Structure 1
Amino acid sequence: MSQAPDDEAELRKLRWRCRRGMRELDQLLERWLERRWRQSPTHEREVFLRLLDTEDDRLWRWFLGHETPPDADLAALIQHIRQLPV
Structure 2
Amino acid sequence: MNLNDKKLQWACRRGMLELDVMLKPYLDDVYPSLDESQQAVFRRLLEQQDQNLFEWLTARHTPEDTELANMVKQIRSYAEHRER
Of 58, 61, 81, the residue aligned with 2:52 is: 58
What amino acid sits opposite 2:38 in the alignment?
E
**TM-score, normalised to structure 1's length?**
0.85
Match of 2:15 in 1: 21
Q: Which runs of 4 or more aligned residues in structure 1 lie more than 6 Å from their structure 2 counterparts after TM superposition?
A: none
CA positional deviation for 1:27: 1.4
Work out the CA distance in 2 between the residues paired with 1:29 and 1:68: 17
Work out the CA distance in 1 between the residues paired with 2:77 and 2:51: 20
Q: Which segments of 5 or more consecutive residues in structure 1 lack a partner in the other structure?
A: none
Task: String of CA shifts for 1:32-66, please: whole Å, max 9, x gaps.
Answer: 10011211101101100110000000111111111
Greater Rg by CA:
1
Backbone CA RMSD of aligned residues: 1.2
Q: Which segments of 5 or more consecutive residues in structure 2 lack a partner in the other structure?
A: none
